[in-house]
Amino acid sequence: MAGSHSSRWRPDRTRARAAVSRTDATLRNGARRVWHAPLPATAVGMALVLCAVIALGASRSSNGRPPAVEVTASETPTPTPTTSPTPTRTPSTPEPVDDPKLALLQTQVDSIQSRYGVRIGLGVAGVAPVGQRYTATWTAGSLTSGPAWGTLDVPIAVAILDLDSLPSNLTYMLTKSISESSLSSDEALYTFLGNTETASKAVDRVFQEYGDPVTTVATSTSRQGIPAFTQTDWTVASQSEFAGQLWCSSSDWYIISRMQHVDDEHSYGFGNVVSSYIKTSEGTTEDGSVVLRQMAIIPTSNGNRVGVSLVVTARAGQADTAREAADAVAGQVYFTAHGFGAGRC
């Protein structure tokens, strides 16, 4: 076995010795050529080797390692941040309402006026955040405005909630004014805002906040025994917009909740619509004609909620007729006031 092992590796060793012999011969031949080369050629070669050694030594640091590469960065100016101007929100144009059922509603309002011998003003507006409008306001009837009477206590209540100090009996006051439509309670609510000038300005600010720079609270009246503020001229268009925006005002839900619990005497008209929020008030003109005002937030048959305003005037002593006309209008509005789907909070 030993002999076999030795014979297996012997050829490899022989080849290794032969390779070494060839390498030695090559080196000896190279040295012989240098030795026998002419002196100038030898000097040039040695000079080249010496230069290479010097260059290599210069390129190394004292510890023998190549020096760190020095990175030279050009001075890049820091970009100056530019900010585009904050876009100013421009009020979008309210979407028009052109549902074909509105033409039918217009016809029905005219028919109700003739049937009951009354005059009617109706405004319908889509819901929207306070101070905004997403849909155009729609109106119908022969009247465009009328004295606000007790419906003004809703913006009065909004003004009170803006105060730093609230009345201790606020719930009672709102219940009497909004739910029970007590005119004396309306007056007490208004007086809490201050004197005539202070109170009127406070409510005017509410109108402006709700996107109505036109309506201003009346501060005087020629009528005896009638609080001047109740004679504020409030258009059905502006009042319906106020109602639609009130629905979206989370800070005023305390007021809206009072509009859901109205006594039976004042729950006619839009109060007949399920899930409605209303404020009703009645009064008379100087010649004794009946004036009925109602502001409401109601759902319609297509599921959209809208703000509505209604004024009905009837001859003296015909308050029941005015209420019946209000019932008829409310029913028509519920079924045909479509096209306000763009309204949203």
pLDDT in tens, 140-174: 999 999 999 999 999 999 999 999 999 999 999 99
pLDDT in tens, 160-213: 999 999 999 999 999 999 999 888 889 999 999 999 999 999 999 999 999 999
Query: What does the pLDDT average to over 286-300?
Result: 97
- CATH code of residue 194: 3.40.710.10
Residue 199 within a domain: yes
pLDDT reading at 9 higher than 50: no
pLDDT in tens, 37-57: 454 444 445 545 444 434 444
Query: What does the pLDDT average to over 305-323?
Result: 98
- Give the count of domains, the chain: 1
Give residue 38's pLDDT.
52
Q: Which domain holds residue 299?
A: 100-336
Residue 65 within a domain: no
Residue 105 within a domain: yes
What's the predicted TM-score (pTM) here? 0.73
Residue 50 within a domain: no
Residue 296 within a domain: yes
CA distances from 106 to 112, 122, 224, 228, 240 (A): 10, 10, 37, 33, 16
pLDDT reading at 63 higher than 70: no
Residue 238 within a domain: yes
